[in-house]
Amino acid sequence: MTHAHVSYGIHAAYGLQVPPAMVAAWELGEAFPTEGELVALAGALWCSPGDLLGAPSTLREHRVAQGLAPVDVAMRIGMDPHAYEQMEQSGQWKGNENQATKLAEVLNLPLRAFFQVTGRDAALARLLVSAVETRWQAYLKKVAKLVPLPRPRLEQALKSLHADYQARMAATLTRGAVSDSAAADAKEFLERIVEHFWERVGT
């Protein structure tokens, strides 16, 4: 399909005037479609909006990937539509636990994505940093309360993270450039602690 074909398909099916040059700009990443344009583009290309988004990372992107309007999600999770849209725009989840559970079901969120869009990543990061810097056993119960996964998997993940971080810290006890490099490595490890955690629990 040429850009003109896509432009025609969008107009014919959805009534939107999108010039071929704009379709080309979307393709090159020089411009981005609005939500309505994205849905129309997906329709013209016979795919879902989620196929065009790649891996969604925000609440809005997860909703669009499911082909839902903000008001639909708000009503399904029992939230005022205006309040829901404000949360999408700010990127700050402020719903209660029941609404969060329904959100995960409506948007078909994997556990890791659920943590990202509801802001639980920050709380998890704080627990994980404390666990690797001190005794991981003291934080197992708190992590288990936050992350609904089997305790043995969480235990193994915390134990592995702790061992990796402590090995990096031990390397900082040497002298010179090796110590500086090890310190930078340990710092980077902490900055990516949540990512390392999800890799280890395998979700």
d(CA 67, CA 157): 35
63 vs 155, residue with greater confidence: 155
d(CA 20, CA 76): 37
Q: Say if residue 106's pLDDT is above 90.
A: yes
Instruction: Tell me the three state secondary structure of residue 93.
Output: coil
User: For 151-183, how does the pLDDT look when each residue is reduced to its tens digit (9 = 90+)?
Assistant: 999 999 999 999 999 999 988 887 766 677 888
d(CA 70, CA 79): 11
Of 117, 115, 114, the closest CA to residue 93 belongs to 117
CA angle, residues 151, 157, 163, in degrees to nearest 5:
135
Distance of alpha carbon 147 from the chain centroid: 15
pLDDT for res 54 = 67
Of 18, 73, 70, the closest CA to residue 42 belongs to 18
User: For 111-150, how does the pLDDT look when each residue is reduced to its tens digit (9 = 90+)?
Assistant: 998 998 888 899 999 999 999 999 999 999 999 999 989 9
CA angle, residues 156, 161, 166, in degrees to nearest 5:
130
pLDDT for res 25 = 86
**Given pLDDT bands bounded at 50, 70 and 90, which one contains residue 21?**
very high
Per-chain mean pLDDT for the chain: 88
Task: Give the helix ranges, DSSP H, for 45-107.
Answer: 49-53, 59-65, 70-77, 81-90, 97-106
Which DSSP symbol is given to 132? H
Q: Say if residue 56's pLDDT is above 80.
A: no
User: For 80-90, how does the pLDDT look when each residue is reduced to its tens digit (9 = 90+)?
Assistant: 999 999 998 88
d(CA 30, CA 140): 46
